[in-house]
């Protein structure tokens, strides 16, 4: 069970008939060109700048080779935003982005004026090496909050990275942005539209969501479709709403979350938002699924689906309340289909429902019927990775799914030892 697979596949806007219009990746792709370099008009690279104690790659650049350099982005809504977010908001405001430079090994968050200077320096160094404007370079950082970046290493890393840019460098870039991720996340789709074929791809790091997010989530999406900045903004907002915004690993919101979409226009195929959304959403859904499946310390991937809600917003509210209940998340870790904790979480919401009408199923077994005891809980098997919790509010026609993780000993370990 992931946000785009299995039985849930039929229930999300990224699936079903719309999905059929978005052929799976592979058929028209060039071998080796994956993730952010699946689409034409992009080059990427990842290098080791020495920012991580592990010595793993930690700096990446993705450049838009054109002919167009349109872009849109979504940033964290955390009011305590990191310096690179502050910088990058300004960069994308005019809808033109030439490149993005990303580092792991340090978030450059809560670093005051010096942090903003450092983010600016990262953009300027990248721009110099590429021969573009600093004001067209987005900066993304991830890692510990409250420490300064070692700027000599960062600028040396940029100087090494830009010459390494390659149209099949997507995989290297995806690896360089990992922090506690155990594997890089890439996805792409080739879309056969009425006016021709185009590609959308992307990479992601960090298990989390836009608002809120666990570890920082950084996502870079690329397409060779031709699209105006307004089209990109609208399509990105819709794709995020249905994917990253519904993946909620631990309810915490990062200071650095960024989702950047760049369009090169290299396919020559112009698209509007309606054409762009399905393929873009499919890529975002695959990346979001990868984040939840690889979330820090998680033992289960949990889909909380709320059915028969009065509105989609209320379905999301209820699903999110359950997804954020520590008691519920501990129960799933313990393979306990504790529907009482589900109902206790549902009861904290303002959604329309009658408590005596609520139904809850764990992996298809309806353990709660009409707000009371249903089928025998011993029939539920939670030994696998994937858990589907279905809640029926009997209050209307809407539904939504939020993806989350269980609360485990490994989560506590990873997050109590992370910075010490």
For binding to a copy of itself (CB under 8 A), which residues are involved? 77-81, 107, 109-112, 114-115, 144-148, 212, 214, 250-255, 324-327, 330-331, 333-336, 338-341, 343-349, 353, 355-356, 358, 368, 370-373, 407-409, 411-413, 415-420
Q: Which is nearer to a copy of itself, 80 or 274 (CB)?
A: 80
- Minimum separation from the CB atom of position 145 to a copy of itself (A): 3
The pair phi, psi for residue 277, each rounded to 5°, is -55, -50
360 neighbors 343 (Cβ within 8 angstroms)? yes
Report the residue number, 21 or 77, with the smaller CB distance to a copy of itself: 77
Query: Does 167 show up as a binding residue in the annotation?
Result: no
Helices 339-346, 312-323: axis angle to 10 degrees equals 130
Q: In angstroms, what is the minimal distance from the CB of 102 to a copy of itself?
A: 19
Q: Which is nearer to a copy of itself, 25 or 392 (CB)?
A: 392
- Is residue 170 within 8 A of residue 220, CB to CB? The reply is no
238 vs 250 by CB, closer to a copy of itself: 250
Q: Is 179 annotated as a binding residue?
A: yes
The distance of closest approach from Cβ of residue 345 to a copy of itself in the complex, given in angstroms and rounded to an integer, is 7
Residue 163, number of CB atoms within 10 A of its CB: 10
Query: Any binding-site annotation on 420?
Result: yes
Closest distance to a copy of itself from the beta carbon of 80 (Å)? 3
For residue 216, indicate whether it is catalytic: yes
Closest CB to a copy of itself among residues 27, 356: 356
Closest distance of CB 217 from a copy of itself, Å: 13
Q: Which two tokens stand for residue 311?
A: 């509105």
Q: Quote the CA–CA distance of 253 and 258 in Å, as a whole number.
A: 12
Nearest approach, Cβ of residue 252 and a copy of itself (Å): 5
In three-state secondary structure terms, 127 is: helix
Residue of 34, 120, 216, 401 marked active site: 216
Residue 178 Cβ vs a copy of itself, minimum distance, rounded to whole Å: 19
Q: What is the DSSP string of 389-409?
A: EEEE--S-SEEEEEEEE---H
- The nearer residue to a copy of itself, 115 or 265, going by C-beta atoms, is 115
Whether 152 contacts 187, CB under 8 Å: no
Strands (DSSP E) along 152-300, which ranges? Answer: 185-193, 196-205, 218-223, 258-263
DSSP secondary structure string for all residues of 248-288: -SSS---SS-EEEEEE--TT--B--HHHHHHHHHHHHHHHH
Q: Report the C-alpha gap between 103 and 237 in whole angstroms.
A: 24
Q: What is the CA radius of gyration of the chain?
A: 21
Q: Is the peptide bond before 298 cis (omega within 30 degrees of 0)?
A: no
Interhelix angle 273-293/229-242, rounded to 10 degrees, is 40
DSSP class per residue in 310-343:
SSHHHHHHHHHHHHT-HHHHHHHHTT---HHHHH
Phi, psi (deg, nearest 5) at residue 371: 75, 5
Select 28 or 373, whichever has its Cβ closest to a copy of itself: 373
Residue 256 annotated in ligand binding: no
Query: What does the alpha-carbon distance between residue 253 and residue 223 come to, in Å, rounded to a whole number?
Result: 28
Angle between helices 339-346 and 326-333 (to 10 degrees): 160
Annotation: binding site for substrate: 179, 205, 216, 296, 415, 420
Annotation: binding site: 179, 205, 216, 296, 415, 420
Give catalytic residues, as residue numbers.
Answer: 216
């Amino acid at each position: 069970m992931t946000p785009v697979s299995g039985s849930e596949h039929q229930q999300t806007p990224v699936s079903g008939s719309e999905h059929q219009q978005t052929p799976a990746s592979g058929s028209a792709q060039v071998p080796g060109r994956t993730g952010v370099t699946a689409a034409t008009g992009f080059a990427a690279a990842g290098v080791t700048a020495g920012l991580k104690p592990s010595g793993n790659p930690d700096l990446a650049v993705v450049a838009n080779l054109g002919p167009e350099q349109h872009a849109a982005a979504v940033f964290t809504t955390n009011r305590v935003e990191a310096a690179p977010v502050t910088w990058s908001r300004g960069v994308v405001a005019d809808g033109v982005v030439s490149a993005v430079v990303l580092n792991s090994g340090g978030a450059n968050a809560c670093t005051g004026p010096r942090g903003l200077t450092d983010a600016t320096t990262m953009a300027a160094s990248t721009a110099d090496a590429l021969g573009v404007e600093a004001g067209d370079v987005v900066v993304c950082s991830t890692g510990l909050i409250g420490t300064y970046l070692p700027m000599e290493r960062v600028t040396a890393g940029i100087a090494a990275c830009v010459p390494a840019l390659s149209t099949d460098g997507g995989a290297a870039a995806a690896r360089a942005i990992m922090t506690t991720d155990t594997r890089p996340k890439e996805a792409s789709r080739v879309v056969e539209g009425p006016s021709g074929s185009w590609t959308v791809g992307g990479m992601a790091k960090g298990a989390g969501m836009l608002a809120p997010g666990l570890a920082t989530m950084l996502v870079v999406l690329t397409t060779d479709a031709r699209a105006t900045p307004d089209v990109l903004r609208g399509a990105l907002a819709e794709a995020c709403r249905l994917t990253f915004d519904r993946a909620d690993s631990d309810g915490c919101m990062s200071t650095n979350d960024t989702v950047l979409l760049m369009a090169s226009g290299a396919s020559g195929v112009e698209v509007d938002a309606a054409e762009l959304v399905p393929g873009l959403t499919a890529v975002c859904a695959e990346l979001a699924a990868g984040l939840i499946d690889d979330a820090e310390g998680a033992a289960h991937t949990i889909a909380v689906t709320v059915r028969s809600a009065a509105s989609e917003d209320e379905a999301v509210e209820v699903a999110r309340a359950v997804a954020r209940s520590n008691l519920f998340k501990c129960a799933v870790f313990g393979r306990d289909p504790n529907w009482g904790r589900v109902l206790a979480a549902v009861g904290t919401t303002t959604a329309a429902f009658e408590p005596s009408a609520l139904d809850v199923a764990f992996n298809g077994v309806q353990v709660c019927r009409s707000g009371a005891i249903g089928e025998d809980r011993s029939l539920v098997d939670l030994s696998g990775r994937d858990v589907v919790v279905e809640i029926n509010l009997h209050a209307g026609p809407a539904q939504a799914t939020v993806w989350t993780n269980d609360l485990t000993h490994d989560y506590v370990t990873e997050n109590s030892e992370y910075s010490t």
